[in-house]
Amino acid sequence: MEETSTYGRRAARLLAFAVGGGVALTLALASSASADDVVVQEAEVVNAGAAVANSGGNVAVGNASENDAETNQDAVGAVAVNTAETSNHSDGTAVIETGDATATGNESATSVAQHADTGGDGGGADVVVQDAEVTNVGAAAANSGGNIAVGNVSDNDAETNQGAVGAVAVNVAATSNHSDGTAKIHTGDATATGNRSLTGIAQHADTGGGGGLDVVVQDADVLNAGLAFANSGGNIAVGNLSDNDAETNQGAFGLLAFNVAGTTNHSDGHASITTGNATATGNESVTGIVQSADTGCDDGLNVVLQSAGVVNVGLAFANSGFNVALGNLSSQSSVVNQGAFGLIAANLASSSNTSGGTAWIHTGAAWAAGNRSATFIGQHA
């Protein structure tokens, strides 16, 4: 149907211009004084735009440090005692909070009015050609997402080395790493509108009375097209991505030899993502076309061709998802090496890793409308 309509409009235009040109040429050659009018009205309007709004694409890292703590002790004597506390404490917080992102490719209001009044009351020929073309095209992209937040990505090493030699040899060590991280992402709304337009076209032709030939051709074409992309998602939040190593090495030699060690890693992480709403509208348009022809010729030949075409096309994509939240992705290693040699020898060790994590994602709503349009066409002859 669209192809047939297109060919019909082309045929109408060819006929109109052929008739109009022929009449004009005849009048010019004959120098006729009768009521002959040739009116050609053409209007073309193009509204095009592209817009990009971005408040996302941010990267925040709370802690990316590298920490090394090492203790080396040697004690030699009748009573040899080593006491050590070796620790690393690492914490980090990363917060990203974006504002709203709003993009509108094309927002326009267009009014076209074509009026022809030949006023011919004689027996000549009146030819009126009215052509109006309006094109509204827009593309918009709005983004408040695509953010990366990492609370803690530190590297922590704690090591204790002790050696005691004596009648009484004692080594006491506490070796630990404490690592914590928090990552928060809160995005604003993302709103994209490819095309938002209001178009009105009015074509009126009044050829008057008489017994001649009246030819009226009215053609109106409106194209509304829009592409919209809105995104508040695609975020990555990692609370704790640290690497923790704790190691204790003890050697005791004596009549009484004791090694006591506490070697621990504690790691915790929290990650949260809260996205705003994502709203995308490809095309939002209101179009009105009115075509009227009053030939007023009762005993002559009246030819009226009226053609109106409206095309509304829209494509929209809205996303508030594709988010990744990891509370704790840390790596931990706890090692204790003890050696006690004596009449009475004892090794006491506590080696532990404690890891905790919390991750939550709360997305806003995602709305996508490819085409939202209202069209009115009125033809009267």
Token pair 């929209």 is at which residue?
Answer: 316
Residues 53 and 105 sit within 8 Å (Cβ to Cβ): no
> How much is the pLDDT for 94?
92
Nearest to 16 by CA among 170, 148, 141, 131: 131
pLDDT beneath 50, residues of the chain? 1-4, 6-7, 14, 17, 21, 23-33, 35
pLDDT of residue 16: 52
Neighbours of 3 (CB within 10 A): 7
What local confidence, expressed as pLDDT, does residue 7 receive?
Answer: 46
For 89-125, the pLDDT digits (tens) are 999 999 999 999 999 999 899 999 988 887 655 666 7
What b-and-e string marks burial along 211-229, b requiring 16 or more CB atoms within 10 Å of the CB? ebbbbbbbbbbbbbbbbbb
Assign 133 to helix, strand or coil: strand
Length of the chain: 381
pLDDT given for residue 152 in this prediction: 92
Q: Which of 203, 348, 358 is nearest to 272 (CA)?
A: 358
Q: Answer whether 323's CB lies under 8 Å from 361's CB.
A: yes
Q: What is the C-alpha to C-alpha distance for residues 323 and 146, in angstroms, rounded to an integer?
A: 9
Residue 214: the pLDDT is 80
The predicted-structure confidence for 342-363, as pLDDT tens digits, reads as follows 998 888 988 898 889 999 899 9
Range of the structural domain that residue 69 is part of:
2-380
Give yes or no for a contact between 67 and 85, defined as CB atoms under 8 angstroms apart.
no
CA distances from 250 to 77, 265, 339 (A): 17, 19, 6
Cα–Cα nearest to 229, from 81, 367, 95, 32: 367
Q: And the tokens for 226? A: 């829009």
| Count: domains in the chain | 1
